[in-house]
Structure 1
């Protein structure tokens, strides 16, 4: 394992902006807004343009690991502590689809009571968000390919769900063949509907793109470690025909069991093997493994209800730009997310007539 002095130090110069990045950002924002406009027109309610469908929301606690080595004791994790957390599980599309249209899953984590120098746009808040997906790398290397993928998804929003179900079933077969041949799934196939229909609580989740980690640079992962959730890794859902099969599986688990995850950081060694601007590259774990920095624990609870969904889906927003300057999002994909997520937040607040703000506590989260 690398020693502390081997890890690359953070400097602003590690980022390289594309010459026409502002135009790409504008086009991406317009595309995301068009998705939201379409679903609003069809459903009468403003929802997220990505990760629209929630499969559960959990009240949890984050405990920073004690005695972290200096390179890991950074930012939020600089000293031991316990923090209240809300977690939102979701799938990627911007329209609400039956779960038989199987796409990558995400989890958004909001840590409350976090003090320190803030990122621009989150001054006065005391939260830290981590936005994670169940694959180690992003489906596109940078802003322009990301925009191209989003435009493709925008064209299919709220259209021909029956065809999407058939296509998803076929793509899952193709994905199985890809895994058998290469040993790893295709992120592009997963986004188009080729995500295996497994239990969400067995998944590991990743930031996919890097962020500043105090003096260093890191990617973040969330890994289930409690025995009941580890047993769900790659386990098929009991009833894949149910429209809300994932949500029902999460509810069934948390009605009986709690859950424990480890939050882990993978520190960057160099920009050749572990680039900041190419989000499609999986950083090699043989060179720099993910190392535990905190534990997330959720007690048994009602993981979904109409009231809880309304509080989290309509009253909260999650963005990697809600947080500490010590965890500044890095790379082109992260730069695109800043204005896109802000636009989506404003759109939902305006159209639904509801304030969206950073919580001071979770007293209002329905049980």
Structure 2
């Protein structure tokens, strides 16, 4: 090494060492910051978990508690729902304000369990072995039709036919129906009518952030409900008949309060494997339903189950954001739903499907809907159905 090279090396050495030392100090500082933030996050998560465990515990009311001003808020929601219907109408049809896209309406049979214990023999489930003819509508949750592969809620609505007895709604006495309206998550992303009004208004105005963060005040932020919404908007199942569907809101079940769900019951049907569907097709869920029922002529089977409320546990009637724990009250199978092979995807049946009205208020006193969200549905479903049916009739 020459004297000049040695001089340059010595000149650069201390400066480079200072840079290495600075980076080491910064690295140590960042590592400590990361550890501190992790510990702070864990403490926050633990504290929040303890708070929620305390908040969502204890006895609850076994009767409805209607808050002041709910009727006025319901009228606001009706106007917002009609705005949504107007906004997403097609060239020829006014669609539903939610669950606008159907994968199909199919004929089915609901058979009450033949060995049903006396406690569970309520309403349409009063007679073991009784078979009801039914329609089943399977759908996406969005207010406008979109590709099935996109994250969305999925819905199932069941309509039992020729049900004797006095209907809940005076205007529906001639229909003789019992509806069960469900979607594929056990709890809802809003608690009550007030939150629903604020949430749906923000989304209708295209201000989705305000749906869960209505102001700068952190006390108004609905982070838990946002997480429920993300969980609800999940990846599409391989077929609409592969999902589990929940009533979310509570109902009467004879003298008690309950929630419903429908779960796939493959053991009640012949073994069947659905061929792989092309999920890039916009209507691949309808394609899957057609493949099973129409092309391969294979039935689909479900169990309809009931979960009774235990008021000594945190199983509230008025807060649909709370899922009732199965450890507090297990589900019990009361009936079996069978969808037979059939040709359902015809223009006539698809139009009839779009015209069908489903509401939890179509039914008997033994299954009366409970809670604020169900009271909201009573007014909104009827008003929106009347609105869109009137306009569709004018367009024909």
Same-fold call, TM > 0.5? yes
How far did 1:149 drift?
Answer: 2.4
2:126 aligned partner: 78
SS at match of 1:334: helix
Instruction: Rate the CA distance shift 1:53–1:207 in 2: closer, same or farther, 3 A.
Output: same
Mean CA deviation greater in 245-254 or 276-285 = 245-254
Q: Distance in 2 between matches of 1:134 and 1:301?
A: 24
2:379 aligned partner: 339
Q: Distance in 1 between matches of 2:143 and 2:379?
A: 17
2:289 aligned partner: 250
2:197 to 142, 147, 164: 147
Are 2:277 and 2:287, in contact at CA under 8 Å, matched by a contact in 1?
Answer: no
> Structure 1: which 5+ runs fail to align?
1-10, 158-181, 355-367
What RMSD, in angstroms, separates the aligned Cα atoms of the two structures?
2.8
SS at match of 1:219: strand
1:132 aligned partner: 182
How far did 1:271 drift?
Answer: 6.0
Larger radius of gyration between Structure 1 and Structure 2: 2
Deviation by residue 1:45-82 (Cα, 9 ceiling, x = unmatched): 11111100001211111111123222211111111311
1:261 to 281, 302, 312: 302
| 1:239 aligned onto 2:278 | yes
Instruction: Rate the CA distance shift 1:275–1:64 in 2: closer, same or farther, 3 A.
Output: same
How far did 1:227 drift?
Answer: 4.7
Q: Distance in 1 between matches of 2:389 and 2:181?
A: 20
SS at match of 1:261: strand
2:84 aligned partner: 35
Give me the TM-score of the superposition, normalised by structure 2. 0.74
Deviation by residue 1:222-273 (Cα, 9 ceiling, x = unmatched): 011025989999x997322111111111111212210111111001111651
**Structure with greater contact order relative to length (CA < 8 Å, sep ≥ 6):** 1
> Structure 2: which 5+ runs fail to align?
1-60, 208-223
Are 1:264 and 1:291, in contact at CA under 8 Å, matched by a contact in 2?
Answer: yes
Instruction: Rate the CA distance shift 1:271–1:210 in 2: closer, same or farther, 3 A.
Output: farther
1:1-367 matched pairs, under 5 angstroms: 14-40=63-89, 42-80=90-128, 81-121=130-170, 122-156=172-206, 186-190=227-231, 194-199=233-238, 200-227=240-267, 238-255=277-294, 256=296, 257-270=298-311, 272-314=313-355, 316-353=356-393
Aligned residues: 314
